[in-house]
Amino acid sequence: NSGKVNYLAFQGLVRQWLKLNGELVTEDQLQAVWRFLDAGKTGHITGGDFGSFIRKGDHVHDASKGEPLRDTILRARERHAIEVRQHRAEFEQQRKEEVKAAQALKADLVASARTIELDSFRQSPQRMRARNETLAGEMRKARYERWHKSVRKGNVAVASSEEQDRISELLNSHVAQIFPGIGKNKWFCFFKWMDA
């Protein structure tokens, strides 16, 4: 719980938990909102950044009070079944690309490990463990940088005010389904969930 959320956590919860597919919010729109939220280009947003954005669509909670929760959940489940089928191909392709990138990185690390002199095999277990932790950290950092670059690489502009309002309303309406018994601060629960 760092109090900050990166793009992967934001994207994952919007797509997987809120079930906002590419028809409702395209990847470019999601990245445009992220660029708005991450104005400092740090790669992270805070609860304050997210809260001020999500409050733009907070009025949907007042409009949806007349709808039974059972109907809302049923519609959400139906949408989810359709979206799962639609996203299966996209997810599999993304997974294949990640595996390929990880294999390439692993091959590079193996190649560099082979160049280490024989003295490295005589190092103490603590030094070897520290080296392994460093290599693992480099792999995690390289993976994160690949993801962060994928957000930056496109020519996606910052979301317009209208896009921000529309997406904020969508997030609010879907967050209400996940946290039905909580008052107007559902967004804070949602942010804490992303930060976990």
DSSP string, 144-181: HHHHHHHHHHS-PPPPPHHHHHHHHHHHHHHHHHHSTT
Interacting residues of 169 by C-beta distance below 8 A, sequence separation 6+: 56, 57, 59, 60
| Tens of each residue's pLDDT in the chain, 196 residues | 678 888 888 888 888 888 888 888 888 888 889 988 988 888 888 888 888 888 887 777 665 555 555 666 667 677 767 877 776 778 788 888 888 988 888 888 777 766 665 455 555 666 777 878 888 888 878 877 776 666 655 566 788 888 888 888 888 777 777 666 656 666 777 677 666 6
Residue 181 pLDDT: 64
b/e sequence 85-114, b meaning 16+ C-beta within 10 Å: eebeeeeeeeeeeeeeeeeeeeeeeeeeee
Q: Please report which helix (H) or strand (E) contains residue 196, including its range.
A: none
- Taken in order 127, 128, 130, 134, is the CA torsion positive or negative? positive
